[in-house]
Amino acid sequence: MKKARSWCQAGQSPAKSHSKNAIVEKIINNNLNMTVMKKCFFLLIIMLSLVFNECRADNPADPGTKSTAANSVVQLSNDSFKKMIFNYEINKEWKFEGNRPAIIDFYADWCAPCRQLSPLVEEIAKEYSGKIDVFKVDTEKERMLTQKLGVTGLPTLLFVPVKGKPQITMGALPKESLVKAINEILLIK
């Protein structure tokens, strides 16, 4: 009864006092939640900036080419392919634009056999460094080039000799087959 009288004397009812306490608790909880949200948001911004800065760290001079594996494998775009390999818009007959024999790996990131073949291609590029050029074409990004060359299956390797017509193979080849193709098609021993 004393508590009821003290509320009544203060001009408050027990229900109003309880609702004020609940409101104060909600405000405190909201402030704590906002603080946690601000910290999470701040951390998210920091993490995203680090991720995207990492993606931009490899900024080659020619945006159409990107080297991997210590500059041994070069990523080709449609434009760089026309400059460095074959300009299919100008030439109707095959005319290789390069100075050294080349291997071009047509791949996609989602393709499991392509992922199996990739380390072999990089290994071949290192072993034959200075004798052949090794390129990669991401078929998801370079759809026009892929269509123009008639690449329908993955992985596809295009062996391009300095003189003569290129030859194409499909599927993940073992290293022995790659070496044999290099020796026979590209005439490198």
Full DSSP string of 84-116: HT--TTT-SS-----SS-EEEEEE-TT-HHHHH
What pTM value is reported for the model? Answer: 0.64
Whole-number pLDDT of residue 55: 30
Whole-number pLDDT of residue 51: 43
- Identify the active-site residue in 8, 40, 55, 114: 114
Active-site residue flag, 114: yes
Measured distance CA(82)–CA(97) in Å, rounded: 8
Whole-number pLDDT of residue 156: 96
The torsion angles phi and psi of 84, rounded to 5 degrees, stand at -100, -25
Measured distance CA(178)–CA(48) in Å, rounded: 40
User: Residue 69: which region, alpha, beta or left (left: phi > 0; alpha: psi -120 to 50)?
Assistant: left
In tens, the pLDDT along 85-127 reads: 999 999 989 999 999 999 999 999 999 999 999 999 999 999 9
How many C-beta neighbours within 10 Å does residue 6 have?
11
Whole-number pLDDT of residue 52: 43
Residues of the chain with pLDDT under 50: 1-10, 14-15, 48-65, 67-70
Active-site residue flag, 40: no
